[in-house]
Amino acid sequence: MSYRVAVRALCEFTAKVGDLDLRFTPSPTAQEGIAGHRRVVARRGDDYEAEVALEGHFASLQVRGRADGYAVAANRLEEIKTYRGDLGKQPDNHRQLHWAQARIYGWLLCQARQLEQITLALVYLDVDSDRETLIEARHSAAELEAFFNQQCAAFLHWAEAQVQRQGLRNSGLQALGFPYAGFRRGQRELAETVYKAVSTGRCLMAQATTGIGKTLGTLFPLLKAMLPQQLDKVLFLTAKTPGRALALDALRQLMHGQPPLALRSLELVARDKACEYPGNACHGDACPLAKGFYDRLPAARATAMQVALLDRHAVREVALAHRVCPYYLAQEMTRWVDVLVADYNYYFDQSALLFGLAQANQWRLAVLVDEAHNLVERARQMYSASLDQWQLQALRKQPPAGMASALQTLNRQWNALHKEQRTPYKVVDGVPEAFLKALQRCVGLVQDKLNQTPESIEPELLQFYFNALQFLRISELFDEHFLFDISKREGGGRRSLATLCLRNVVPAPLIGPRLAAARSAILFSATLSPRRYYADLLGMPADHAWLEVASPFAAEQLQVRVIGNVSTRYQHRQASLAPIVALIAEQYQQAPGNYLAFFSSFDYLQQVAQLLAQAHPGIPQWAQASGMDEAQREGFLARFVENGCGVGFAVLGGAFAEGVDLPGTRLIGAFVATLGLPQVNPVNEQLKQRMGRLFSAGFDYTYLYPGVQKVVQAAGRVIRGCEDRGTLLLIDDRFAEAKVRGLFPGWWAPQFK
């Protein structure tokens, strides 16, 4: 069996040595890098060949890739790299890796064109000055062949072990059975449809009620499809930590058979959660786990490959045993595992690790997007950026050395943006080029400091740098799917300061290509209605499939009562307090047990809770507070014990409105005292206008659909299993409107009061 590897992946495996060092990084954006490559190519002669496809073999190993460029007359092969900062500060092991890539491409070209020798060149382009630095070396074909063989031999030993494991994995996947005696109602239909989607290469949106086992019902068919569809990886992407935990549990169930399935799975977590030395920079002079990282990586990698399920705890254990960074060990292991469980941003973010690796290595992927209704807002956040002038003013008070003039220029351009603004909020057509140039100059100066003396950078300057970098990157994407808005407020004295925001409104043009790049993408949730809303905003392919799984629950399991004689609108809030308290008390007295009560804000929640405590002190209650940490959230949920009694107050759309599992008598009912509509404010009104222009559904896309989706998610906390029974009170007269009722789950049978 042959094994394929890209040139870059081969070199990153065999030619990286020494410290992990992030002080000198290719900081230009992807677009700047592409543009830089094009500028270099455009300067070359007519005989210059760009993007030269090459491949070669060593025993059973197939190596392939695209060399950046070849000047035929000069017989010079070029490896082009873009950068910012002082090239003299580039670590030796970075340059060594670049030379390794050039040598591999050099041999492949010599072999393809029967060349006896060739000039190799590293071309470094400073994207700010547009200056090229050319470093050349002459090599014979024989010495390049020897280097190629050496690298391939080092890689082949590992590759052969991977091929052997994959053979065992494939046999296991062929024999893999569902881990339970039978499927739950609706689960088989979901699994079969997922299998058909990946088999036909289509994307699927699947709406399925909580409780049918969506995680197992989507993972199982994709694992069964890995071999026939020649999938390289399955990605399970989640919005929150509980989703990752469910996926890992499902994988444990699937791998538990005898003999154990030779599958390898990996959980990816954020850097701040994996870092062992959070106060230290990521380089060998500051962090002991970065010192000699690449020298110890091979042994750590080999140990990690013996662990079937590398959750964050297993990764940490292996990493610390070999004295390497857990976060970057996990990133290395992404190349060698079959299933990856990670947050959305690992695939959908602008600089997403998994998407970048998939493109570079031409992986054939199946992508699962858990609780996909969250992807709209998360994607908007990923592709938005803001800058606060208060932050700039703080830097100007004590400007870093060499930056006073640049910060002054930036402030002047910033003031020009809002000088004539007479209102607190304004939307403008686009970001002036002069402002972006001033911002880029500041970013370049900070980058120079990072390259020269990273340990001297103040946290405030570093935060400004990251914010500015994101702003510049998003500015390159700006089009009709974004808003550029300016929020103005008094800054003390007579000065006014402004916050600038590049706000993504419709992520479809950015998310859609990521979905289409996979063999199949499966988006599933209990709330994906209306279909067109999510398809429009997420850029689903025109031929995507749709499945609405029949609920396993019966209407008699959940008594849904619509209270139409109460308004929870802001102007009616005070008048609503007493009726809501009376409804909660009446329901609790009729059926004592654990309830959740959802409100639109902490203020509203506290007013009702306080009045309930005064009027009915015998009803136990506890409330969500703003900014609760993980331990406090766990404490809130711990109050919902079997056969317990009390009312937990929470904010709709918050931590307890979805992803919370309180089966049986741990929760027997919920009160939802809000339609869930987003707040009417200048930003949302601008979103409404843009949605109206793009989709002719401004109010629905901005307010109604997101609001009712939160309500249905919160209601889904009550019935978690086929034996559960409960009550749901929807408290607001708008719940009785036909348009709103049409968004309720089909199995509900609401009663109106």
State the CB neighbour count (10 A cutoff) for residue 72: 12
pLDDT beyond 90 at 547: yes
Which percentage of the chain shows pLDDT scores above 90?
81
Q: pLDDT class for 54, splitting at 50, 70, 90?
A: very high
Position 486 scores a pLDDT of 96
Q: CA–CA separation, 453 vs 116, rounded Å?
A: 45
Question: Residues 467, 536: one domain?
Answer: no
Q: Is the peptide bond before 552 cis (omega within 30 degrees of 0)?
A: no
pLDDT beyond 50 at 26: no
Q: pLDDT class for 524, splitting at 50, 70, 90?
A: very high
SS (H, E, C) 207-253: ECCCCCCHHHHHHHHHHHHCCCCCCCEEEEEECCHHHHHHHHHHHHH
Residue 485 lies in a domain: yes
Residue 126 lies in a domain: yes
Question: Residues 346, 393: one domain?
Answer: no
Position 610 scores a pLDDT of 97
Give, for 64, the enclosing helix (H) or strand (E). Answer: strand 61-71
Residue ranges making up the domain that contains 363: 183-268+334-381+508-548
Number of domains into which the chain is organized: 4
Which residue bears the tokens 């308004």? 567
End residue of a domain, out of 438, 472, 504: 504
Segment 293-302 mean pLDDT? 95
Which residue did the predictor score with more confidence, 35 or 89? 35
Residue 278 lies in a domain: no
Three-class secondary structure of residue 85 per DSSP: coil
What's the pLDDT tens digit per position in 203-227? 999 999 877 889 999 999 999 999 9
Question: Residues 544, 560: one domain?
Answer: no
Position 493 scores a pLDDT of 53
SS (H, E, C) 469-507: HHHHHHHCCCCCCEEEEEEEEECCCCCEEEEEEEEECCC
Which of 119-123, 488-492, 571-575 shows the lowest mean pLDDT across its residues? 488-492
Question: Residues 468, 569: one domain?
Answer: no
Residue 534 lies in a domain: yes
Segments in 47-186 forming alpha helices (H): 92-113, 141-175
CA distances from 384 to 120, 123, 501, 684, 710 (A): 41, 33, 7, 15, 23
Question: Residues 430, 571: one domain?
Answer: no
Question: Residues 586, 721: one domain?
Answer: yes
51-55, 357-361, 398-402 — most confident range: 51-55
Query: What CATH code is carried by the domain that includes residue 54?
Result: 3.90.320.10
Q: Report which of 387, 374, 357, 196 is spatially closest to residue 266, judged by C-alpha positions.
A: 357
Question: Residues 694, 589: one domain?
Answer: yes
**End-to-end CA, the chain:** 69
- How much is the mean pLDDT over the chain? 93
Q: CA–CA separation, 706 vs 699, rounded Å?
A: 10
What's the pLDDT tens digit per position in 335-366? 999 999 999 999 999 989 999 999 988 899 99
pLDDT beyond 70 at 491: no
Question: Residues 537, 561: one domain?
Answer: no
Question: Residues 668, 600: one domain?
Answer: yes
Question: Residues 704, 574: one domain?
Answer: yes
User: How long is the chain?
Assistant: 753
Residue 287 lies in a domain: no
Q: pLDDT class for 280, splitting at 50, 70, 90?
A: confident
What's the pLDDT tens digit per position in 105-123? 999 999 999 999 999 999 9
User: What's the token pair of residue 125?
Assistant: 């382009």
pLDDT beyond 50 at 179: yes
Position 494 scores a pLDDT of 61
Segment 686-703 mean pLDDT? 97
Contact status, residue 395 vs residue 407, Cβ threshold 8 Å = yes
